Structure 1
Amino acid sequence: MVETLRARVAGLDWADIAAQLDAEGCAVLSGLLDAAQVRALAALCERPGPWPGWVAALQASLHARLLPVANAWNARLARPLRHPAALVRGEGPRPQCLQAGEDLPLQHGSDGPLAFPLQLNILLGTPGEDFTGGALVLTEQRPRMQSRPMVLPLRCGDIALFAVAERPHAGTRGDYTVRLRHGIARVRSGRRLGLELRLDEAG
Structure 2
Amino acid sequence: MTTTLTTAGAGPAARVAEADWPALAEELDAFGAATTPLLLDPAECRAVADLYDAPGLFRSTVDMARYRFGSGQYRYFSYPLPEPVAQLRAALYPRLLPIVRAWADRLGRPAPWPESLDEWLAMCHQAAQLRPTPILLRYGPGDWNALHRDLYGDLVFPLQVVIGLDEPATDYRGGEFLLVEQRPRAQSRGSSTVLRQGCGLVFATRDRPVRSARGWSAAPVRHGVSTVRSGRRHTLGLVFHDAL
**TM-score, normalisation: structure 2:** 0.76
**Higher mean C-alpha displacement, 36-45 vs 79-88:** 79-88
- Correspondence for 2:230: 189
Q: Is the 8 A contact 1:74 1:82 kept in 2?
A: no
Q: Is the 8 A contact 2:133 2:241 kept in 1?
A: no
- Residue number among 93, 107, 111 corresponding to 2:148 in the alignment: 107
- Correspondence for 2:101: 71
- Correspondence for 2:18: 11
| Count of paired positions | 202
- Correspondence for 1:36: 43
CA shift in 2, pair 1:156/1:2, >3 Å? closer
How far residue 138 of structure 1 moved from its aligned partner, in angstroms, is 0.3
How far residue 112 of structure 1 moved from its aligned partner, in angstroms, is 5.4
How far residue 155 of structure 1 moved from its aligned partner, in angstroms, is 1.3
Task: Kindly provide the amino acid, as one letter, of the partner of residue 95 in structure 2.
Answer: R
1:154 maps to 2:209: no
Task: Kindly provide the amino acid, as one letter, of the partner of residue 191 in structure 2.
Answer: M
Q: Give the Cα separation in 1 of the matches to 2:194 and 2:203.
A: 13
How far residue 68 of structure 1 moved from its aligned partner, in angstroms, is 1.1
Q: Give the Cα separation in 2 of the matches to 1:157 and 1:166.
A: 26
Runs of 4+ in 1 over 4 A off after TM superposition: none
- Correspondence for 1:116: 157
Task: Kindly provide the amino acid, as one letter, of the partner of residue 43 in structure 2.
Answer: A
Residue 15 of structure 1 aligns to a residue in which SS? helix
Unaligned runs of 5+ residues in structure 1 are: none
Task: Kindly provide the amino acid, as one letter, of the partner of residue 55 in structure 1.
Answer: V
Q: Give the Cα separation in 1 of the matches to 2:143 and 2:194.
A: 19
Q: Give the Cα separation in 2 of the matches to 1:148 and 1:115.
A: 23
- Residue number among 46, 54, 58 corresponding to 2:84 in the alignment: 54
Residue 115 of structure 1 aligns to a residue in which SS? coil
State the structure with bigger RCO (CA 8 A, min sep 6), 1 or 2: 1
Percent of aligned pairs sharing the same letter = 42
Please list the CA deviations of residues 40-63 of structure 1 after superposition, one character each: whole Å capped at 9, or x if unmatched.
111012334444223212111100
Q: Give the Cα separation in 2 of the matches to 1:42 and 1:197.
A: 14
- Correspondence for 1:86: 116
Q: Is the 8 A contact 1:93 1:195 kept in 2?
A: yes
1:198 maps to 2:228: no
Q: Give the Cα separation in 2 of the matches to 1:81 and 1:145.
A: 28
